[in-house]
């Protein structure tokens, strides 16, 4: 296999010149560059990336830290993040944290060791003090108080749209079905937008929040169903919460959309083959993913970003539940 | 920050000894190892992985090459592959090929440059001659003719079970709904098991296959519906194909399961909130993923595997479509 010395010999230049051409670093005359490139091609020379990373002390690797790739919202997001990174010549390292803070911290440590170029992170845990500002990082959905830029969908506007669409569908008394997050997350704005719009329109509303609905799901939904028997509309904080509510409501003899109209948030159903097709606030997943990557690569190159939070507009997608 | 020399000085050993302890390579007396570990801890020494990889000429990185992470079967598989790799101290590089052969080849090239420790690959394209045998690789679903070990679900047995379950549900004339793959794939055994079992039981059956159902989906399903009007059971090659058939059948006035009973293959529905819940042959995704990783790491360590194809047993999961 050809070495960098072979390339230098054939091109009649120094090894350092070849290195500058390969790494796009330092000035090289166009004619010299052309000679080097021709030699690389002729010898079918493959630069050793591991050795290059060692010398340049950085890698073309971006880490994606998320709770679980095995969730339709995250897997769609990962799909577009990988696609955008690939366009820019970067690779994706996938880290499932399982939502466990200790696994997230373990990955941040690991990431430091590996000198990844940056991290796209989705975490809903309180790892605030442990997240190093040394690593270029973009957070999705979660706005840290440090200088970690956040990309989210426009959650507040999404909540407003959901309220308006419920009212448009004839709902007189809508309820918000949510949860109290452990730490501040942009997703809380969904409720705030919903409440804001209800107040503007003078619509009576209910808000139901529990700290950890997953701990006792049956109790979470049965409490909601018992407590708010007069509601005729639900805006659920996620599509999964909407789908679970609809199933529990059906068991309690409540028909959707006849008795209660339901709007979710996410847009996880990308095929029309499974029912109910949820009416939902669709996250602009592709644009969020590509924006996160573009901002991250800017940061990795030392640029300062002009905002702390980048909000991407959302749209309403009508389904079978309103 | 502490260097390897600081560790060696504190432990009173040579740098090479520290290196052998860190890399678990070469004999080191237990007492010496303990001294080195204590020094590492005391100094909070973090080995530089990039530098280590450079010296050892390999990385603790495994590449996962798949058509798209944005598909429930693949994202579940990726979830368990990452989890198993993490247990073994390896990281996962994610490569979406989009099913395009040129992107797959590009990744194989990239992988060679980066000296990944191995590849878990899922491809349905004919890249046979381009896949290097230098890289330890495990293929999922696709059995190459080279020495690339393949992990699959027991597709043949899955086909047999599907036929038997349809007959048990009262079906008199079942049809197989499939496609002709571009290259040989283990998934073809689903049809073969179905046909084999139908012959054993003396059940009349139909087989419908098209080279590329995705090119003109409407035509694919309408041809099937027109051609086989007397069938009362369908075994579809995947859950997605089953779900699409059910939707098209409904539009044609055929009720599932009243008129036609349907069984899919995969088990992509991990929540009971969306309907129809497909009756399906459930792929043992977790076991396939963990098996693939364990075999790959054995291969990466130079071990010879005793089989070419590892088949993992499947189970039938009754849903609402039989």
- List pLDDT tens digits, range B76-128: 999 999 999 988 988 898 988 877 777 777 767 766 666 678 889 887 666 66
Answer whether A4-56 and A155-283 agree in fold. Answer: no
- Nearest CB to B114: which of A50, A64, A82? A50
- Nearest CB to B274: which of A59, A96, A243? A243
Question: pLDDT-based confidence at B43, cuts 50/70/90?
Answer: confident
Q: Is the model's pLDDT at B18 over the cut of 70?
A: yes
Residue of B316, B320, B214 whose CA lies nearest to B267: B316
User: Does the beta-carbon distance from A92 to B91 stay under 8 Å?
Assistant: no
Average pLDDT over residues B125-133: 65
Q: Do B154 and B313 form a contact (C-beta atoms < 8 A)? A: yes
Size of interface A-B (CB pairs under 8 A): 130
CA–CA distance, A276 with A244 (Å, rounded to integer)? 11
pLDDT for res B132: 62
Residue B312 DSSP SS3: strand
Q: CATH code for A4-56?
A: 1.10.260.40
- List pLDDT tens digits, range B227-281: 999 999 999 999 999 999 999 999 999 999 999 999 999 999 988 899 999 999 9
Residues with Cβ within 8 Å of B169's Cβ and at least 6 positions away in sequence, in order, are: B233, B257, B261, B322
Q: Do B96 and B66 form a contact (C-beta atoms < 8 A)? A: yes
pLDDT for res A303: 86
Higher per-residue pLDDT: A78 or B213:
A78
CA distance A200 to chain B (A): 34
Question: pLDDT-based confidence at B33, cuts 50/70/90?
Answer: confident
- List pLDDT tens digits, range A293-317: 999 999 888 888 888 899 999 999 9
Q: Do A295 and A121 form a contact (C-beta atoms < 8 A)? A: no
Residue of B137, B96, B102, B101 whose CA lies nearest to B116: B137
Domain extents in chain A:
4-56, 61-152+285-312, 155-283
Chain A residues with CB under 8 Å of B76 CB are 70
Domain A61-152+285-312 classification at class level: alpha beta
User: Does the beta-carbon distance from A57 to B50 stay under 8 Å?
Assistant: yes
Chain B residues with CB under 8 Å of A272 CB are 247
Q: In this structure, which topology does domain B155-283 adopt according to CATH?
A: Rossmann fold (3.40.50)
User: Does the beta-carbon distance from A91 to B83 stay under 8 Å?
Assistant: no
pLDDT for res A49: 56
pLDDT for res B55: 47
Question: pLDDT-based confidence at A57, cuts 50/70/90?
Answer: very low
User: Does the beta-carbon distance from B243 to A271 stay under 8 Å?
Assistant: yes
Nearest chain B residue to A244 by CA: give it.
B273
Dihedrals phi, psi of A208, to nearest 5 degrees? -120, 120
Tell me what percent of the residues of chain A surpass a pLDDT of 70.
Answer: 86
Domain B61-152+285-313 classification at class level: alpha beta
Chain B residues with CB under 8 Å of A47 CB are 113
Question: pLDDT-based confidence at A55, cuts 50/70/90?
Answer: very low
User: Does the beta-carbon distance from B68 to A79 stay under 8 Å?
Assistant: yes
- List pLDDT tens digits, range A217-226: 889 999 999 9
Question: pLDDT-based confidence at A103, cuts 50/70/90?
Answer: confident
Q: Do B188 and B180 form a contact (C-beta atoms < 8 A)? A: no
């Amino acid at each position: 296999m050809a070495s960098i010395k072979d390339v230098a010999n054939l091109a009649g230049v120094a090894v350092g010149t070849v290195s500058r051409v390969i790494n796009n670093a330092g000035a090289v005359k166009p004619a010299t560059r052309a000679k080097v490139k021709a030699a690389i091609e002729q010898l079918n020379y493959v630069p050793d990336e591991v050795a290059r990373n060692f010398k340049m002390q950085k890698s073309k690797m971006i880490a994606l830290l998320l709770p679980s790739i095995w969730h339709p919202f995250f897997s769609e997001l990962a799909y577009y993040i990988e696609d955008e990174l690939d366009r820019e010549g970067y690779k994706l390292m996938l880290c499932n944290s399982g939502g466990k803070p200790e696994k997230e911290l373990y990955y941040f440590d690991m990431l430091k060791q590996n000198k990844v170029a940056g991290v796209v992170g989705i975490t809903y845990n309180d790892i605030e003090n442990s997240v190093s500002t040394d690593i270029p990082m973009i957070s999705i959905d979660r706005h840290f108080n440090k200088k970690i830029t956040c990309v989210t969908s426009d959650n507040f506007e999404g909540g407003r749209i959901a309220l308006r669409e419920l009212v448009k569908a004839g709902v007189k008394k809508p309820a918000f079905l949510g949860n109290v997050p452990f730490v501040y997350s942009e997703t809380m704005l969904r409720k705030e937008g919903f409440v804001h719009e209800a107040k503007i329109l003078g619509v009576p509303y209910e808000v139901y929040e529990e700290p950890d609905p997953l701990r006792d799901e049956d109790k979470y939904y049965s409490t909601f169903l018992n407590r708010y028997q007069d509601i005729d509309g639900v805006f659920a904080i996620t599509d999964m919460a909407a789908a679970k509510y609809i199933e529990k409501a059906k068991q309690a003899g409540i028909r959707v959309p006849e008795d209660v109209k339901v709007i979710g948030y996410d847009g996880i159903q990308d095929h029309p083959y499974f029912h109910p097709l949820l009416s939902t606030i669709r996250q602009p997943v592709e644009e969020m993913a590509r924006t996160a990557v573009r901002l991250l690569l800017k940061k990795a190159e030392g640029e300062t970003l002009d905002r702390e939070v980048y909000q991407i507009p959302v749209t309403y997608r009508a389904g079978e539940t309103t």
